Amino acid sequence: MSLLKTEHIGMTFGGLKAVSDFSIEIKENELVGLIGPNGAGKTTIFNMLTGVYAPTEGKVLLGETVVNGKKPYQIVNLGLGRTFQNIRLFKGLTVLDNIKIAFHKDMSYTTLSAVFRGKKFWKEEKEIEIKARELLGLFNMEADAGALSSNLPYGKQRKLEICRALATNPKLLLLDEPAAGMNPQETKELMETIAFIREKFKVSILLIEHDMSLVMGICERIVVIDYGRMIAAGTPAEIKSNEKVIGAYLGQ
Amino acid sequence: AGNDAEPTTPDATETETETEASGEAVRLGLLAPTSGALAPYGQAVKNSVELAIQEINAAGGVNGADVELFFYDNEGDSTKTVNLFNKLVDVDKIDALIGPVISTTTLAVAPIANELGIPMISPTATNKDVTPGLDYVFRACYIDPYQGSVVAKFAMENLEAKTAAVFTNVGSDYSDGLAKAFTETFEAGGGTITDAEGYTDADNDFSAILTKVKANAPDVIFVPDYFNMVGVVASQVRELGIESVLLGGDGWDGIQNDFAAEVEGYFFANHYSTTDPDPIVQDFIASYEAQFGETPNALGALAYDATNVMLAAIIAAGSTDAEAVLVALKATDMPAVCGYITFDENGDPIKDISIITVKDGKLELEAKVSGN
Amino acid sequence: MLKVENLNVYYGAIHALKGLSFEVNKGEIVTLIGANGAGKTTTLHTVSGLLKPTEGSISLMDKTITGVEAHKILGMGMAQVPEGRRVFAKMTVQENLEMGAFLRTDKAEIEESYENIYRKFPRLKERRKQLAGTMSGGEQQMLAMGRALMSKPDILLMDEPSMGLAPILVKEIFDTIVEVNKQGVTVLLVEQNAHMALSIADRAYVLETGKIVLEGNAKELLDHEDVKKAYLG
Amino acid sequence: MAQFIQQVINGLNVGSIYALIALGYTMVYGIVKLINFAHGDILMIGAYFGFFALATFNVPFGLALVVSMILCALVGMTIDRLAYKPLRNAPRISALITALGMSMLLQNLFRLLFGAQPRRMPAVIALKRIEIAPGIAISNLAIITILLSVGLMLLLEFIVKKTKTGKAMRAVSEDKSAAKLMGVNVDKTISITFAIGSALGAVGGLLYAINYYQVEPYMGMMPGLKAFVAAVLGGIGVIPGAMLGGFVIGLIETLTKGYVSTTWADAFVFGILIIVLIFKPAGILGKNTREKV
Amino acid sequence: MDKKVVSGYLKNITAIMVVYAIVFYLIQIKVINNYYNGILILAGIYIIVAASLNLATGYLGQLALGHAGFMAIGAYTAALFAIAVDLPKYVELVAGLILGGLMAGIFGLIIGIPALRLRGDYLGIVTLGFGEIIRIALLNLPFTGGAAGLKGIPRYVNFTEIYFLVVVVIAFLFAFIRSRHGRAILSIKEDEIAAESVGIPTTFYKVYGFVVSAFIAGVGGGALGFYQRILDPKKFNFMFSVEFFIIVVLGGMGSITGTIIAALALAFINEFLYSIDELRLVFYALTLIILMIFKPDGLLGRKEFSLIKLLNRFSKKTKIENAD
Ligand SMILES: Nc1ncnc2c1ncn2[C@@H]1O[C@H](COP(=O)(O)OP(=O)(O)OP(=O)(O)O)[C@@H](O)[C@H]1O
Ligand SMILES: Nc1ncnc2c1ncn2[C@@H]1O[C@H](COP(=O)(O)OP(=O)(O)OP(=O)(O)O)[C@@H](O)[C@H]1O
Ligand SMILES: [Mg+2]
Ligand SMILES: [Mg+2]
């Protein structure tokens, strides 16, 4: 069954056609790469999928639901999580609180219960405290739970953002340049992390990345766009040798 | 957090008392706005009260004791006024209160003063609800409805006005009270109100409403507000070439300083006239000018009277005992700057009202209407 | 050309640079590599006057510039491509480049510089009227680079100029660096892409938690065991 | 009809003064991102300087205007140095509170120095009413005010858009460190901004005082607030917007007073502001640039 | 609920009751006279309104400059209700406060839904404008007493009432903020886009936070009327809103205890400054500027002051001292 399906979506900014006629389908447990030159429209595609922008053309389907025009938080509730090209953490909050916020939709106690500290409040708060710490543990970040997230080094901030996205319990995770600003060693660790997430959480992943070692190393399938249009799709090996892709993106 | 240490009485007193007199000093409180938009009025009141106290102290004090003044700036805010009144009572232990200046703050304090049995005279709170039912509360000025209707009568009888426009500062209950009374009396006397316009303290462009009024050309325009505002209105009236005669209340007093030309030939009701030859008036003006370098306005004169009335009552009572002072206050019967003063059953003064006109840039007594 | 001695920098209580010393000779490309949070950006910010060191000295062409304000340093011939691009989002591409030439007065040559930049990055030319803030990440990176070059610096500091760029552009950027260098601009380069950086640089310093732990010829470091393990993956 | 046109003229006159003050507001806001609540009080200071020049030293109007502008520019720069500069990197709201504190300080300082009594502004410009049609007249002062505000707006727009200083201002407004890296002297640029903004405030203050005859320590509060509203209505940070906003507010106010209700006029002004912002969240001329994600 | 939590509650309740008992006793024996009592009551009202503003500004991150307007709505609603009905004191008090809060909350909703789409300073100006509209309406509407003010409100608020009202409001805010709802509100201040991307319905929480804030401000306004017995529309002007803003920033945006400390400190500083009369407001303004320059994040920043922690530390110390 497909988790995500887009039908000829497009996005226009003023006179600029940033994305056009883009169709993709992602199934359960897939790891897909989205690559393309700078300004090709990759981030814009992510923004359309997550409801940050409403596509000016076409349809986005999550499972059976058409999500065009839905608010980002509603789309999250349908099982889509994401990270941002420019890291967007809750900078003034602790690492743990960053994660806890992402559990919001899994909790249901009311304001009344919160104010009177009812049974449900304690139960749910305890649950997410445990879950959040577990999640941090998986990323070897338990020790940082109490730290202010803005004080983390860059690499850990990226990890925390992924971790936070996972806390929303997505079926499909979108990662926008997760390896940007990491050195090759750190990138290697990140690849392991991604592989691990996929196993552990049974999520599909769609990622944008310019670091070819990562893309070619872990993606099963790669989609290439240029000037907002898909120019190639296939396995890493196929893409590597695709003339068009070499010309527009990879270079010699 | 213990609060047992009484804070040292702040040196808020402005009196230039010389040496301590023999007896227990008489402690007078004063609340007036000396900052914010109302500061000009509060300042005049404060000056006059200080002057009155100085004179009495120089003449040997009250019942052999000096009078000490405790003053606080209440910013014209009711909340602060109540607080500061509590401070005057609890910390400064005042025997009597002069003030507050404007009606809203006076309305806030009056019931509390009455409960605590602190005699008070507001020099200038003209709202009719200030005194009724409150034994300990007096005032030195006449009330809004009275003033408003006197001006209306003057307009109809002396100026033979048939039509009038009324401008109300809706943010000021003083203005509102006068306007209502004027309107009532004027209409009852067969006159027509052509325009009833409101504005607020924040306004100073009246061209919009004046343009309308000009079209109706009423005989008189009643502008019951304080002189700053009236000056602006009058200037624009002249600018637009409107011929109607402007009328006002005691708030106009002081207008001759800055806007003499603009209000030339207009009339207003006032508590006193600086041209009044009565020595009590001229002495007051002389000593005020000597001390503060300017001519006192009506608010000052009222504050001066209020202080003297209160101190006279304390002298008559022979002590600061509130009950005794109250009895003496009720029996007040003395000459004052703003006319001979006695109190009615509410504690409102019964006295003359002067209609003043501006001639050649100077205030002149046009008519004197006797008290109710 | 640039000489840094015993630099100590604090962010409040955090001791970010601990007695850092290095130098860049005229005409060289020197690269600074190190893990996240090692202090590379801090170093560049301190050198360019955005941060004040608590201790140490910096001299540019034998003139001490320690404590000199950042805006004066550009006039002394040092420009920077800052980390995270820092383009002026509400100005157009063209205006951003104009800002790069803020201190220049040679009108005719400025025109020439525009042409040079636009030749190097045709995408910028295409979008010269677009607001910089709406450009894609990579486009902004190109703009930041072009903007720094507009000041015609003698020495150019670059903080991760290849971050977020497509592979084809990465190569181009490095080519540009080499080209600029050939034209006589000294370069101090901070990079995560250690492999590329080392392969174009003359010399390199390895930074770890605010200290230089290794320095030497760039090509030699490329084969250094520790460097390989830690930074080349 | 004549009355209506007269009301529109009245509105433009009031509006032009708001516009003048709003220009300074918008300028400082656009560049320093600070709602400079003390701007209204700079207006008051400008009026006092003008008053002393005119009433005490009897200098001609033009000179009084220039002197007042220069002195206000200095005051503005000093305030920036002492009170706002230390807060450049602090949360913006702290700077806002400082500005409010500064406003209170200036008002009360001037009350202490020169007393609470309003002072009559000498009538420096012999008031003439020019009848343009039966029942429609405009005063020479109104013409001067309107022309001056439009002229200064154009000058300001030119400075910000076309000059090097202007470019530096825009760069500083976006990213101070990046501007420094371009060789822009940030402190100087901000000083200049305050100087220009305050000088404009001085012009506004002097004209305001002449139009309404008096100076007093609290005179800056209400026009300051209205001008701020005007700046926001037009799109804060946008120079022509401030001008437009000023005129719109002036017109709404006057027409409401003339035809609807005098007492509710300010409520109308604010009501319309709210409605405009709901449909144009960045003001009439402001661009609602969304953050790129 | 584990033991630690329960003992924490007990300690808090004990501390609250002990403080109350002490102050109450001091009032009884007149060590705290009417004057100080009045200041305490006003400080209490300031705490309530400033804390509510802190929710909107410190936690939700919205610049709200019209809280005096919500206060006014609450104040007039509560007062008119109490004047109209004739019920036992506490029934009237509680019902009046709740009604005042509800009415303010309704207005918060009406203004909040459109206004909260605006960002930062634009929201500030809209709330400011709203506050002014309310003030003008109060001056002009037929049932408010106009400029002369609304008289004849019963005096229902004294130290005891205000003290427990403050306790309830503060306890509510603490509990609210330290829950999933509070975290959602905090996340909006930090980064709205990110918040939305992890499943927070940001619009809902913005409006919700704003309405709760308006509600509490309304309650505070109601209390003011019941203390003062007269309401003057002029009181609820822009500068009044600013006073609360100053308290919030001075105490620390996002610190409730900071708000409490700042409100109390300002109340007493203000009174103390009466001793320098003329210079008072100049000094007040200078104090404000200097405080901001040296403590731009406010007294407590985002931290909270904990009496229990302090007491714990203290008791440990004394134990050690007693040991030797
Ligand atoms: N809000 C916007 N307004 C105008 N143009 C925009 C906007 N957002 C993006 N664009 C343009 O759309 C195109 C696609 O941008 P996008 O950010 O999707 O690129 P990208 O593929 O993610 O590039 P990169 O790899 O450099 O991040 C770019 O040319 C960009 O300038
Ligand atoms: N503004 C700041 N406040 C406090 N600490 C900071 C600040 N900026 C940087 N640091 C800390 O200083 C150290 C050095 O940071 P710096 O940004 O110089 O590292 P870097 O080598 O450039 O890392 P990266 O590769 O992630 O860019 C890090 O520990 C970082 O957390
Ligand atoms: Mg992108
Ligand atoms: Mg860095």
ipTM: 0.88
Q: Please name the chains neighbouring B, where neighbouring means 3+ C-beta pairs under 8 angstroms.
A: D, E
pLDDT of residue C101: 92
Q: Which of C36, C229, C233 sits opposite A153 (nearest CB)?
A: C36
D93:E293 CB<8 A: no
The residues near D72 (Cβ < 8 Å, ≥ 6 apart) are D42, D45, D46, D49, D198, D199, D201, D202, D205
- Structure-token pair, residue A124: 């749910």
What is the per-residue pLDDT for B7? 39
Subunits with 3+ C-beta pairs closer than 8 A to A: C, D, E
Using an 8 Å CB-CB cutoff, list chain D residues near E124. Answer: 35
What is the number of other CB atoms lying within 10 angstroms of the CB of residue A143? 10
C36 pocket-lining for ligand 2 (C-beta < 6 Å): yes
List the structure tokens of D87.
């807060």
Please, which residues bridge with residue B270 across strands? Answer: B354
Supply the residue whose CA is at minimum distance from atom 8 of ligand 1.
Answer: C134
- Mutation site, A42, A160, A210, interface C, largest C CB count within 10 A: A210
The protein residues having their C-beta less than 5 angstroms from ligand 4 (an ion) are C 41, 83
Closest residue of chain D to B232, computed from CA coordinates: D212
Interface present between A and C (3 or more CB pairs within 8 Å): yes
Whether C68 and C163 map to the same domain: the answer is yes
Q: For residue B9, what pLDDT band results from cuts at 50, 70 and 90? A: very low
The pair of three-digit structure tokens given for residue D120, joined into one six-digit string? 């009559």
Q: Which of B80, D9, A111 is nearest to E228 (CA)?
A: B80
- C192 to chain A: closest CA residue: A183
Q: Report how far apart, in Å, the C-alpha atoms of E168 and of each of A88, E47, E162, E225 are.
A: 36, 12, 10, 19
Say if residue C166 is in the same domain as residue C190.
Answer: yes
Residue pair A54/A42 in contact by the 8 Å Cβ criterion: no
> Residue D6 belongs to what H/E stretch?
helix D2-32
Instruction: Answer whether A41 contacts ligand 1 (Cβ < 6 A).
Output: yes
Q: Which of C41, C45, C52, C192 gets mutated to test ligand 2 (max ligand atoms within 8 A of its CB)? A: C41
Whether E15 has its CB under 8 Å from any CB of chain B: the answer is: no
- The residue nearest atom 4 of ligand 2, judged by CA position, is C11
* Backbone angle region of A15, left / alpha / beta, with phi > 0 → left and psi within -120 to 50 → alpha: alpha
Asked if the structure places residue C84 within a domain, the reply is no
Give domain A2-250's CATH number out of 2.160.20.70, 3.40.50.300, 1.10.8.60, 3.40.718.10.
3.40.50.300
Q: Tokens 């527009």 belong to which residue?
A: A248
My answer on whether C100 and C190 are in the same domain is no
CB A30 within 8 A of CB A194: no
pLDDT at res. E317 = 59
CB atoms C71 and D178 under 8 Å: no
Q: Show the CA angle centred on residue A217, arms to residues A212 and A220, nearest 5°.
A: 105
Sequential pLDDT tens for chain D (293 residues) = 777 888 898 899 889 999 999 999 999 988 888 889 999 999 999 999 999 999 889 899 889 999 999 999 999 999 999 999 999 888 888 899 999 999 999 999 999 999 888 888 887 776 677 878 777 888 888 898 899 999 999 999 999 888 999 999 999 999 999 999 999 999 999 999 999 999 999 999 999 998 888 899 999 988 998 898 999 899 888 899 999 999 999 999 989 888 888 788 889 999 999 899 888 888 899 877 666 67
Q: What is the largest CA-CA distance in chain C?
A: 51
Mean pLDDT of B238-267: 88
User: pLDDT tens, C14-57?
Assistant: 899 999 999 999 999 999 998 888 899 999 999 999 999 999 99
Give the domain-ending residue among C131, C152, C173. Answer: C152
Interface list for E 263-322 with D (CB within 8 A):
278-279, 281-282, 284-286, 288-289, 292-293, 296-298
State what percent of residues in chain E have pLDDT above 70. Answer: 94
* Residue C133 per-residue DSSP state: G
Q: Are residues C26 and C64 in the same domain?
A: yes
Better-scored residue on pLDDT, C67 or B10: C67
Residues C192 and C226 in one domain: yes
Size of interface D-E (CB pairs under 8 A): 117
Q: How far apart are CA D155 and CA D163, in angstroms?
A: 11
In a domain, C213, yes or no: yes
Residue whose tokens read 């649950």:
A127
Q: C213 and C145, same structural domain?
A: no
The SS3 of residue D114 is helix
A36 pocket-lining for ligand 1 (C-beta < 6 Å): yes
Distance from CA of D287 to the nearest CA of A (A): 13
Q: In chain E, which ranges are continuous DSSP H helix?
A: 3-28, 34-54, 67-84, 89-115, 120-140, 159-177, 180-190, 192-197, 202-228, 238-251, 256-273, 280-294, 307-323
Residue C221 placed within a domain? yes
User: Of the residues C152, C168, C183, which one is the last residue of a structural domain?
Assistant: C152
Cα gap E277→E271, rounded to integer Å: 10
Q: Is A76 left (phi over 0), alpha (psi -120 to 50) or beta?
A: alpha
Query: How far away is chain A from the Cα of D241, in angstroms, using its nearest Cα?
Result: 23
What pLDDT score was predicted for residue D286? 84
Average pLDDT over residues B353-367: 86
Distance in angstroms (rounded) separating the CA atoms of residues D32 and B176? 44
| Ligand 2 atom 5, closest CA | C11
Contact between chains at E122 and D281 (C-beta distance less than 8 A): yes
Q: Enter the tokens of residue B2.
A: 């213990």
Question: Which has the closest alpha carbon to B156: B190, B198, B195?
Answer: B190
Q: Residue D122: what pLDDT?
A: 83
Give the A window 67-96 contacts with E, CB below 8 Å: 71-74, 76-77, 81-82, 84, 88-93
Q: pLDDT tens across A128-143, in order?
A: 999 999 999 988 899 9
Q: Which of C137, C152, C167 is the last residue of a domain?
A: C152
Residue C45 CB–ligand 2 contact under 6 Å = no
Q: How many CB atoms lie within 10 A of CB B202?
A: 17
Ligand 2 atom at minimum distance from C192 CA: 25
Shared domain check, C227 and C119:
no
User: Are B72 and B84 spatial neighbours (Cβ–Cβ below 8 Å)?
Assistant: yes
Please check whether residue B327 is in contact with residue B319, taking contact to mean a CB–CB distance below 8 angstroms. no
Q: Give yes or no for residue B103 having a pLDDT over 90.
A: no
Q: Please, what is the average pLDDT of chain C? A: 90
In chain B, residues 85-144 whose CB comes closer than 8 Å to chain D: none
CATH code: domain of residue C181: 3.40.50.300
D184/D172 Cα distance (integer angstroms): 8
> Domain coordinates of chain A in residue numbers?
2-250
**Domain annotation covers residue C83:** no
Looking up tokens 């993606």, which residue turns up? A219
Tokens of B146: 């009275």
Considering chain C, what percentage of its residues have pLDDT values greater than 70?
100
Chain D contact probe: residue of A13, A50, A52 with most D CBs at under 10 A: A52
Q: For residue C66, what are the domain limits?
A: 2-77+155-232
Q: Assess whether C73 and C159 both reside in one domain.
A: yes
Residue D226's identity, in one-letter code, is K
Q: How many whole angstroms separate alpha carbon A197 and alpha carbon D184?
A: 47
Mean pLDDT, rounded, for A198-220: 93
Mean pLDDT of B83-90: 93
pLDDT confidence bin for B13, thresholds 50/70/90:
very low
- Residue A151 exposed, middle or buried by CB count within 10 Å (0-12, 13-18, 19+): middle
| pLDDT, average across residues B134-143 | 92
Cα dihedral sign, B199-E150-E68-D215: positive
Query: Number of CB pairs < 8 Å for C and D?
Result: 70
What does the H/E/C string look like for E28-77? HCCCCCHHHHHHHHHHHHHHHHHHHHHHHHHHCCCCCCCHHHHHHHHHHH
Rg from Cα positions in chain C: 17
Top-confidence residue, D193 or E314: D193
Q: Report the pLDDT value the prediction gives residue E298, as an integer from 0 to 100.
A: 85
For chain C, the 3-state helix, strand and coil shares in percent, each to the nearest 5, are 40, 25, 35
**Cα dist. D228→A208, C225, D174, D231 in Å?**
45, 64, 21, 5
Using CB atoms within 10 A of its CB, is residue E17 exposed (0-12), middle (13-18) or buried (19+)?
exposed
Give the tokens for residue E44. 């209490």
**What residues contact D116, with CB distance under 8 A and at least 6 apart?**
B34, B35, B39, B40, B42, B43, D216, D217
Q: For A35, name the nearest residue in chain C, comparing CA atoms only.
A: C166
Asked if the C-beta of E199 comes within 8 angstroms of chain A's C-beta atoms, the answer is yes
Q: How far is CA B18 from the centre of its chain?
A: 29
CB within 8 Å of chain D, chain C residues 121-150: 131, 133-134, 147-148
- Looking at the structure of chain C, the number of domains it has is 2
**Distance from C102 to chain A by nearest Cα, in Å?**
27
CB of C16 sitting under 6 A from ligand 2: yes
What's the CA gap between E245 and C100, in Å, rounded? Answer: 41
| Cβ pair A91:E183 closer than 8 A | no
**Among the partner residues B76, B82, B175, nearest to E38 by beta-carbon distance:** B82
The pLDDT of residue A185 is above 50: yes
Q: For position B4, what pLDDT does the model report?
A: 39
